[in-house]
Amino acid sequence: MDGIVDSLALKLAADGGACGYLTIDLAALCRNYDRLSSIVVPAQTAAVVKADAYGLGASQVSRALYRRGCRHFFVAHFIEALRLRPQLPGDAKIFVLNGLLPDNEAACADGGIVPVINSLDQLRQWSRTARSLQRRLPAVLQFDTGMSRLGIPPEDRGFVEAHLQASDDIDILFVMSHLASSDEIDSRQNADQLAEMRRIAAEFPSCGISFANSGGIFLGGDFHGVLARPGIALYGGAPTSGAANPMETVVRLDVAVVQTRTVPEGARVGYGGVHVTKGRTRLATIAAGYADGLPRSLSDRGAVYHKGVRLPIVGRVSMDSITIDISALPEGTLSFGSMVEVLGDHQTLEDLARDAGLISYEILTSLGHRYNRQYR
């Protein structure tokens, strides 16, 4: 029976020539949104949908969250905002975290998209655009509170304040910053950044604050402000290192078996022959590799699963395939067309990322488009 079920699974996965299933549970995503929203009340909760909603499809994810009540969506680049804008009703606000590169200002204003201003240059450009259009334009001010990445540096805050007092062409919706170590509850950097954020709030008293990312939501009410901006936690990733993950699993990945074989002791497996079998070994080759988001660093380290049984990856991960040791299964359990679990009930994003020496964000955003994507 298992073989018949697995063959049927392959038939479905093979629709359009796919190499497996990538299942995205939109109901679980929405429940994660509800959970995060309940923690930050009375603050509102946005959704970070940059990088194609962390690789899961910004259009599908954003529409599902809009139906759930989300009205604030953050992307990284202006091109992402342009692609997302037609997918959402007009009352949804789309923010560009990196702000605008030169000459994108007019298109941004025309599209009703809100830039996050990170520098005096961006502020001046947006003001010039507002004056040329003869109307006030909305914006968000991002300040650097100690990450030294994006954001207006402390020494420029006075210039920003003077600019805003001298002109009335920009409507500041809120001020924001980004936490660098929020996944580490005991990190001193969290307290340092909070102290700096409070100084900024005192300097811009008429503006609300957006501060908490996924990890920041779990740091307590001092970090919540008026708008929280979760990303990885929405998609089922752990918001806090070293603690039980309170979020529901959103992503499942099952990949098809292309071939099985039995090899003798001393057989070399994969590129470079770096894995040599220590005895008679049953192997299976599955139809995904590093081109599909399963990194080469999983070579001879990671594993996949079948009905709870761990099946180690042996040899190097190839571009389009991976070889696994299936000796732990009874003979005949897996055959041409069977499916194995890469992400699911027995292996989380964090598990796979740990084996690869990466973080869960890298796994999610790398999942390729050769899978049959299913939205539940």
pLDDT of 359 reads 96
State both tokens at 91: 């009352």
* CATH assignment, 2-23+249-375: 2.40.37.10
pLDDT of 2 reads 42
C-alpha distances in Å from residue 313, one per residue of 299, 300, 317, 318, 344: 6, 5, 8, 11, 17
Give DSSP secondary structure letters for 55-120: TT-HHHHHHHHHHHT--EEEESSHHHHHHHGGGS-TT-EEEETT---TT-HHHHHHTT-EEEE-SH
Could you tell me how far CA 366 lies from the centroid of its own chain?
10
Query: Cα–Cα distance between 376 and 361 in angstroms, integer?
Result: 21
Q: Which DSSP letter does residue 330 get? A: P
pLDDT of 3 reads 42
State both tokens at 114: 């809100």
Query: Cα–Cα distance between 35 and 246 in angstroms, integer?
Result: 9
Amino acid present at 288: A
Query: Cα–Cα distance between 272 and 312 in angstroms, integer?
Result: 18
pLDDT of 228 reads 98
pLDDT of 17 reads 84
Could you tell me how far CA 93 lies from the centroid of its own chain?
20
Give DSSP secondary structure letters for 196-261: HHHHHHHHSTTSEEE---HHHHTT-GGGT-SEE---GGGGT--SSTTS---SPP-EEEEEEEEEEE
Task: Enumerate the domain spans of the chain.
Answer: 2-23+249-375, 26-235
Query: Cα–Cα distance between 265 and 281 in angstroms, integer?
Result: 7
pLDDT of 221 reads 97
The count of C-alpha atoms lying within 13 angstroms of the C-alpha of 237, restricted to the half-sphere facing its C-beta, is 25
- The CATH class, in words, for 26-235 is alpha beta
**φ, ψ dihedrals at 349, nearest 5°:** -55, -45
pLDDT of 291 reads 97
Q: pLDDT of the chain along its 376 residues, tens only?
A: 344 335 445 454 446 689 999 999 999 999 999 999 999 999 999 999 999 999 999 999 999 999 999 999 999 999 999 999 999 999 999 999 999 999 999 999 999 999 999 999 999 999 999 999 999 999 999 999 999 999 999 999 999 999 999 999 999 999 999 999 999 999 999 999 999 999 999 999 999 999 999 999 999 999 999 999 999 999 999 999 999 999 999 999 999 999 999 999 999 999 999 999 999 999 999 999 999 999 999 999 999 999 999 999 999 999 999 999 999 999 999 999 999 999 999 999 999 999 999 999 999 999 999 999 999 9
Could you tell me how far CA 14 lies from the centroid of its own chain?
27
Catalytic residues: 50, 271
Cα torsion 197, 159, 118, 177 to 10°: value is 0
C-alpha distances in Å from residue 150, one per residue of 32, 142, 331, 348: 28, 8, 55, 31
SS3 of residue 289 by DSSP: coil
